[in-house]
Chain A
Amino acid sequence: MSAGFAGPGEHGGLTVSVDRTRCAGTGLCAASAPDDLALSDGRARPLRERTDALDEVVEAAELCPMEAITVRRVATGEQLAP
């Protein structure tokens, strides 16, 4: 799934953002990336400003039924998922 992406840490980290209006609170993301996403008041929120858990956060963004999660590379701003 993440084949072709640079490995964790190689580009100085990733940011995860959540559109909390769009979020339906399914919690699939928190199960995929428990260190980076959690539900509060029925909506997902990122747990830290930067992360290197590439596979986990990309999976969270790709599984999100609302496409409410965006993963970007900090250094370049490039959107990695969804």
Chain B
Amino acid sequence: MSLDPSDAAPTEALIPLHCRQAARPGPPELTTLLTGTPVYLVRRHADVRQVLTDPRLGRAPLYAADAPPLTPYPNLLDDPDGLLNLDGQEHQRLRRTVQRAFTPRAIARWRPWVASVVEDLVSRLSDAARPADLITAFARPLPVAVISRLMGLDTLDLKRLAYWSDHALSTSAHTPEQVREAIVDFLAFGTALVAKRRAEPGDDLVSSLVLAADEDGEVTEQQIVRLVIGLVVAGHETTMTSLGNALVYLLTDGRDAWERLAGSEEEAAAAAEQLLRSVPLGENEVLPGLLRRAKEDVEIGGVLVPAGSVVAADHFAANHDPEVYPADWQGGLFDPVGTPHLTFGAGPHHCLGAWLARMELELALHRLARRLPGLRLTVPVAEIEWRRGLLTRSPQTLPATW
């Protein structure tokens, strides 16, 4: 894989993510990461859930002194002080500083406000010249507005935000040096923000987490700063990706569902949940799944995984495990998912923002379908331009008319 973004130009059209076929789950298989590091690839729903919840497997050992190389590229997820890479008590201590803001009830209180942001964006979109780009006008500004409001970042420079998030989860899109520079700049922003909110606290999430962390006394400054910048990226990047890929499906192969999405928020919520389960956020070419490392010998799906082994939990395959879910997800788009899917993970690192992401996705799809019943893409699927060279893949632009 090339490190020069110009070399990454597509020679053939990429398939939309809803067309990706999940690997058929079987017992854990020993394969290798791009770095040559051996990895146990786990795909069955029950096994993936075990990997993510079993305390004998952790994130911190992935970054221990004896750990093997995991990716050929640096990225924000590698930071040992990040929430994702702490285990046990240290992890719980940091997560508790923000957890209360993300429970279903806490998130539900934001619903009217998020709905008003969605309505606003749809109004502006419907007044815009056609064709308009659904990513620039809708899929990007919605999560950015939500996380900015939540964290009190109303004066945030959007160009700088785009710069950080394009680099934070980069694989081949930028050189390692460019990525490191962007992370240094992002950390400086986080450090200054934490200092400012400590000095002049407001009623935003950053102020409350700094207060909770300072009260705890054992949370380090490095951990606080990385949590803050992690929230900024996680709060919009993945939601934008998920919404963009959902729109690709709903405006192409899934277009028949558009009218029903407009019908009610409940139906839109059901469809959003099925889309979250079924449409992956990207390819698994750099990371074949959510990584963990065994702290001791552990049996997974009948296979003995020795202490020190790296394990990848392929939640995409698990979400399509025929033992658990029907084969045709598109035919059951409005059906309840049943067994909880693993898109948001499970265990200690279960996605903090899961309920916020769900709410944004269901409101976005419902209101867009209701207000623009005739929405359609103005480019064929094969000509969709994708954001490439990142850990996730989503449309760069999505020109549409109505």
Residues of chain A whose beta carbon lies under 8 Å from any beta carbon of chain B: 21-22, 24-28, 31, 39, 42-43, 62-67, 82
Whether B366 is near chain A, meaning CB under 8 Å from some CB there, is no
Q: Please give the distance in Å from A62's CB to the nearest CB on chain B.
A: 7
Whether B340 is near chain A, meaning CB under 8 Å from some CB there, is yes
Is there an interface contact between A24 and B346, defined as CB atoms closer than 8 Å? Answer: yes
A28 to B103 alpha-carbon distance, docked (Å): 12
Q: Please give the distance in Å from B294's CB to the nearest CB on chain A.
A: 16
A sample of 14 more A-B contacts (CB under 8 A), given A27-B55, A42-B346, is A24-B345, A24-B347, A25-B52, A25-B346, A26-B347, A31-B89, A42-B50, A63-B100, A65-B99, A65-B103, A65-B350, A66-B104, A67-B105, A82-B105
Is there an interface contact between B348 and A63, defined as CB atoms closer than 8 Å? Answer: no
Residues of chain B in range 91-120 having any CB-CB distance to chain A below 8 Å: 92, 95-96, 99-100, 102-105
A-B contact count (CB 8 A): 60
Is there an interface contact between B92 and A31, defined as CB atoms closer than 8 Å? Answer: yes
Is there an interface contact between B103 and A67, defined as CB atoms closer than 8 Å? Answer: yes
Residues of chain B whose beta carbon lies under 8 Å from any beta carbon of chain A: 49-50, 52-55, 89, 92, 95-96, 99-100, 102-105, 339-340, 344-348, 350, 352, 354-355
Is there an interface contact between A62 and B346, defined as CB atoms closer than 8 Å? Answer: no
A21 to B340 alpha-carbon distance, docked (Å): 8
Is there an interface contact between A42 and B99, defined as CB atoms closer than 8 Å? Answer: no
Is there an interface contact between B54 and A42, defined as CB atoms closer than 8 Å? Answer: yes
Complex contacts, A63 vs chain B, CB 8 Å: 96, 99-100, 103
Is there an interface contact between A65 and B340, defined as CB atoms closer than 8 Å? Answer: no
Complex contacts, A42 vs chain B, CB 8 Å: 49-50, 52-54, 346-347
Complex contacts, B340 vs chain A, CB 8 Å: 21-22, 24
